[in-house]
Amino acid sequence: MEDLNSQQTKQRVYERIQQTIARKKRQRTQRIYLTVASLIIVTLSAVIYRQTSSPADLPNLSADQLYADISAGSVSINGRERQSIADIKPEDQLPLHIHRDSNMLVVTSRQSSRSKDDEIILRAGIGGLYKVILDDGSIVYLNSNSELRYYGNLIEDRQVRLQGEAFFEVANRFKENRRQPFTVHTDQQEIEVLGTQFNVVSRENQEQTVLTEGSIRLKSLKKREENTLSPGDMVELSADGSLAKSKVPIEEYTAWKDGIIYFEDRSLMDILTELKRIYPVEFTPKQVPQKKFTVYLKRDRPLSDILAMIEQSGQLDVQLKNQEIIFSK
């Protein structure tokens, strides 16, 4: 099912990009267009950084040496010191089993070494991409620079807390002949579901939920305002806690879980902000040209591929110096 969903996502994205290309040709504006047919899949290089690293701590790597490290991040159990994912060994007896899949890290529970009272905190670092399989059968895709917190008794009390971005595939589960709810908590909202699929972003000044399948009820904690979403709906929370609902192309908001970087007609500032969560780089906002691009490519490509496309399609001079993206006039 997962492979089928991934292929369907790629096909929908491909069709949207073709429509965008046709529209932008008529408008004679410059954009980046990279179709599925022209994708070159490259293997991930060795780990070049960890979650605790900042661009200033890193050696002066060139753009073609910078890859997204899907295993970047850490785990903490019951408030103990964070342990780097890369340093975990089988003999550590953690209540989790962690292994690397083709394009993400897979996290499952170890029933024999887990207590119902265990508090588990997973933190995906820069470039990290996790597939977390919960005890109730639900799956959480955790994006870069994000944190997922839950307890060992999740089957009895299906509640998790999120900071950052995650895509949820919530399994239907019955308790005492009634569907058991699954609740996602963020700093500003509460999302209650029964069995569905949706994407949640909870970062800094951004609270956003996009529903792809089923139905969910979302509650603003500040205003106690509620809204029910249908597939294709996006709800955003304003600073005062108000809810604003709109229809969106779901592929742009969920392609990341399939290892795809996808932006449609987005500002270069938005694109670079997201790239900072995937690659250990910095940039100066005032230097960023006010241009828009459409980008579609596999997440496992080096940063140099992305910078080359931006440079060529936007007619810009882009360089990487000491892990900083610089635009020259």
Q: What is the DSSP string of 1-69?
A: -HHHHHHHHHHHHHHHHHHHHHHHHHHT-------GGG------------TT--GGGS----GGG----
As a whole number, mean pLDDT of residues 45-70 equals 56
Given a cut of 80, is residue 81 above it in pLDDT?
A: yes
The verdict on 99 and 149 lying in the same domain is yes
Structure tokens at 163: 């900071």
Buried b (16+ CB within 10 A) or exposed e, 240-274: eeebeeeeeebbbbbbbbbbbbbbbebebeebbeb
The DSSP letter of residue 171 is P
As a whole number, mean pLDDT of residues 51-72 equals 67
The verdict on 234 and 274 lying in the same domain is no
Domain count, the chain: 2
The verdict on 239 and 298 lying in the same domain is no
| CA–CA dist 277, 69 (Å, integer) | 11
Kindly report the CATH number assigned to the domain that includes residue 150. 2.60.120.1440
Given a cut of 80, is residue 82 above it in pLDDT?
A: yes
The pLDDT confidence band at residue 289, using thresholds 50, 70 and 90, is: very high
**pLDDT, position 39:** 26
Question: Is 68 inside a domain boundary?
Answer: no
Picking from 254, 275, 309, the residue at the C-terminal end of a domain is 254
**pLDDT, position 52:** 35
Provide the domain limits for residue 107.
Answer: 73-124+130-254
Given a cut of 50, is residue 220 above it in pLDDT?
A: yes
- Rg of the chain (C-alpha set): 20
The verdict on 77 and 198 lying in the same domain is yes
Query: Taking Cα atoms as reference points, which of 256, 252, 234 lies closest to residue 16?
Result: 252
The verdict on 222 and 273 lying in the same domain is no
∠109-299-14 over CA atoms, to 5°?
115
> Are 226 and 212 spatial neighbours (Cβ–Cβ below 8 Å)?
no
Question: Is 66 inside a domain boundary?
Answer: no
Q: Name the strand (E) or helix (H) holding 164.
A: strand 159-169
The DSSP letter of residue 258 is G
Picking from 254, 275, 307, the residue at the C-terminal end of a domain is 254
**pLDDT, position 205:** 83
Structure tokens at 127: 């470039």
Picking from 254, 278, 302, the residue at the C-terminal end of a domain is 254
Given a cut of 90, is residue 219 above it in pLDDT?
A: yes
The verdict on 82 and 231 lying in the same domain is yes
Residue 83 main-chain phi, psi, to 5 deg: -115, 125
Given a cut of 70, is residue 8 above it in pLDDT?
A: no
The DSSP letter of residue 231 is T
Given a cut of 60, is residue 50 above it in pLDDT?
A: no
Q: Note the pLDDT tens digit of each residue in 225-281.
A: 999 999 999 999 998 999 999 999 999 999 999 999 999 999 999 999 999 999 999
Mean pLDDT check: name the lowest of 27-41, 47-61, 131-145, 298-312. Answer: 27-41
| CA–CA dist 87, 35 (Å, integer) | 38
Distances in whole angstroms, Cα of residue 210 to Cα of each of 79, 242, 266, 312: 31, 16, 18, 33
Given a cut of 80, is residue 17 above it in pLDDT?
A: no
Q: Note the pLDDT tens digit of each residue in 157-210.
A: 999 999 999 999 999 988 888 889 999 999 999 999 988 999 999 998 899 999
The verdict on 159 and 178 lying in the same domain is yes
Distances in whole angstroms, Cα of residue 37 to Cα of each of 1, 2, 49, 54, 240: 22, 21, 31, 35, 45
The verdict on 184 and 238 lying in the same domain is yes
**pLDDT, position 9:** 56
| CA–CA dist 265, 244 (Å, integer) | 22
Given a cut of 90, is residue 325 above it in pLDDT?
A: yes
Structure tokens at 156: 């009895």
| CA–CA dist 163, 161 (Å, integer) | 7
Given a cut of 70, is residue 58 above it in pLDDT?
A: no
Given a cut of 70, is residue 54 above it in pLDDT?
A: no
Q: Note the pLDDT tens digit of each residue in 88-146.
A: 877 677 888 898 887 899 999 876 555 777 899 999 999 999 999 999 999 999 999 99
Residue 217 main-chain phi, psi, to 5 deg: -115, 125
The verdict on 179 and 315 lying in the same domain is no
The verdict on 109 and 228 lying in the same domain is yes
> Rounded to the nearest 10 degrees, what angle do helices 303-313 and 268-278 cross at?
170
Q: Name the strand (E) or helix (H) holding 150.
A: strand 146-151
Residue 139 main-chain phi, psi, to 5 deg: -125, 135
> Are 138 and 169 spatial neighbours (Cβ–Cβ below 8 Å)?
yes
Query: Taking Cα atoms as reference points, which of 206, 240, 200 lies closest to residue 220?
Result: 240
| CA–CA dist 159, 142 (Å, integer) | 16
**pLDDT, position 143:** 97
